[in-house]
Structure 1
Amino acid sequence: MYKINGYILALLLVLLLAGCKKEAVLQPSNKDENNLVVKDNPADPVDHAIYQFFQATGVPIFYNDTIARQQVGDSAGIPRYSFQKLSIAYSITGYRTRGITFKLLPRKEVLLPLLPLLKGGFLSRAPLNIPIYSLLIVERMQVGGSLNNGISTIMNKPYAFLNTLMLPIINPDTMTVASRRSYIAEVLTAFAYQKLLPGYSKQIDDSFHSITKKSYDGELIYIQPLSSLSPDGSKQLEDFGFIETGYSSTLILQEYTPLPQDDLLSYLYSVFFYDTVADFESRYANHPLVLQKFKVIRDIVKQMGFRFAN
C-alpha cells in the first residue's frame, strides 16, 4: 500500500515539473504603479488634450473603462495579460452595484468640447480637499434602481463609483446656458452625494429629513400618496418640504412623495443649479419648509468644501 502511494506521488511530481517547463513563470506586476495617471501622446490630438487637462487639474479623464494592460506571463509562446479596469461595479459603501449598463464613446474626439466645461464648471466648484480619482466619459449609461444606494433608476445622468465619476457625453457648443448649468449641477450632485455617505448621514437625518418628518403627524411620509398626507386636498407636496428633482428618475411632484435619498438628491441639484440663493427663494417663497431644507443642504455642502460665487 505504501509503495503504491510512493509511486503515485513520484508520478505526480514528474508531471508537475513537466507542466512547469511548458509555461513561463509568472512575473510579479508593478504593484506601486498608479494607473490613474495620464501619459502624453503628442501624436494624438485627443490624448494630448486629455494629458494637458490632467497636467492642469490633476484629474485623469478616460474614454475606456480598461485603463491599463500588463503582461504577466507566457503560455506556449502566447503572452498572458492582466487588465486593470475602473471600479464601476462597486460603490463607496462596499457592496456590488447592479443593473449598470453603459456604452463607450463611438469616437473619442467627441469629448474635446466637454473638457473646458468640466474644468471651468465642475472642477472650479468641487472641494479642493476631496480627491477626484478619475472621470469616465461614455456615450450613454444607466444605473439600476433600488440596489443603487436606494435611489431611483439613473439614466444618462452622472454617477459616482468607487474610483471614478461616470459622465454621459454632451456637446456644450450645442446647448443653452441653462442646459450647460444643469449638466454641471448634475455632475456636482453625483459627486457630492457619494461623499455625503456615510459621514454626513446622521447630520442629514437630524437636520434635513427631520424637517419633513415633523411636518406630518403620521408615522410614514416618504413614498406615500399625497392623498393620505392631505385627504382634503388642501396641501401640496411642497408644503411638506418636497421639490421637483432635477437628477434622478423619481415621480415628479404629482401624487407620491419621493424616497428619502431622492429627496436629498433634489436639494443637492437645486443647491448647485441656482446661481444665487435669492433665485431659489423667489420660486419657493410661499413654502418655508422648502427654504429651511435648502439652507441645511447648502450649509452642509459648503462645510464639505464645495465652492459658490456668493
Structure 2
Amino acid sequence: MAAFNLTPSDPSTFILMGIPGLEAAHIWISIPFSMFYIMGLLGNFTVLFIVGKEQTLHKPMYLLLCMLAVTDIGTSTSIMPKTFFIFWFDLKGITVDGCLTQMFFIHAISIMQSAVLVTMAFDRYIAICNPLRYATIVTNVRIAKLGLLGLLRAVLFVLPLPLILSRLPFCANHIIPYTYCEHIAVAKMSCGDITVNRIYGLVVGFVIIVLDLTLIALSYGLIIRAVLRISSKKAHQKAFNTCTAHICVMMISYPPGLFSNLTQRFGQGIAPHVHIILSNLYFLIPPMLNPVIYGVKTKELREKMGKYTCRW
C-alpha cells in the first residue's frame, strides 16, 4: 500500500501512528471503537429523522436537539474514519493540508457544540423562569440565529490555528503519536517558535470554556432561585426534571474535554497510550449517549421513537 512507502521525512505528508505501544492491539481496540461510533451515528440520525418527520416536534427545543445531534455526528466523524484506516489497513499517511483541515473541524465542532449547550441552558431558563412568554421569546427563527452565531464564533476562533501552523517550518520527523491531528501535537513537530500557538490555543480554550460555563452557571443559578420561590414540591420536581437531560449531557461533555486538553499540555506523567485512548473515547462516548439521554428523558421524543420502533 502507498502508506508503507511513506517516510517520516516526506515534506508533504504527516504520519499518524495511532496508539504508540499498542500497535499489535489496534484491531482489538477498533472493535469497541467501531461499535461506539456506529451506535452514535444510529442514535443521532434517528433523532434527526424523527424530528424531521414529525411536524409536532418542529419546536425550538427539538431544533436544539437536532443541532446537538449534528455536532455529535461531526465530532466523531471528524476523527474516526481516519482512525479506522490506521487500525485496519495501517494507512497512516495524511497530507499536511488534510491534517490542518481535520484539526480545524475537530476544534470548530467542539466549540460549536459548547455554544449549543449554552443555548439549551438559555432555553431551559426561559421555560422555567418565564413560561408565559416562552413561545414569543424562544422561536425557531431565534434559535436558528443563535446557532448561526455559534457557528460564526467557532470559525472565527479556530481558523487562525491552521493558518498560523501552515506558516511554520516543520522538522524532518513528521510522525504524530496520535490517531488524529490535534493542534498542539502538530505544533510540536515544528522547528520554529510555537509560543504563539501555545498561547493562542490556551486563550481560546480558556475564553470559550470560562465564558460558556459562566453563562450556563448563571442560567442555572436563576433557575434554582426561581424554583426555590415555588412552594409546591411537585412543581420543584417538574422544574428540575426538565433540566436533568441537559445537565447529564454537560457532565459527559465538559469534564472529559477539559481533561483531554489539559493532559495534552501538562500531563507528562500520564502514559501516552492512556491519554490517546481517553481522547478518542471523548469523541465517541458523548455522541453515543446524548441521543439516549434525551430519548429517555424527553417524553414527546420517546413516544415518537416508540412509534417508529414499533413500525420497524
TM-score range, shorter chain: under 0.3
TM-score, with structure 1 as normaliser: 0.26
- Bigger helix share: 2
Structure showing greater radius of gyration is 1
- Bigger strand share: 1
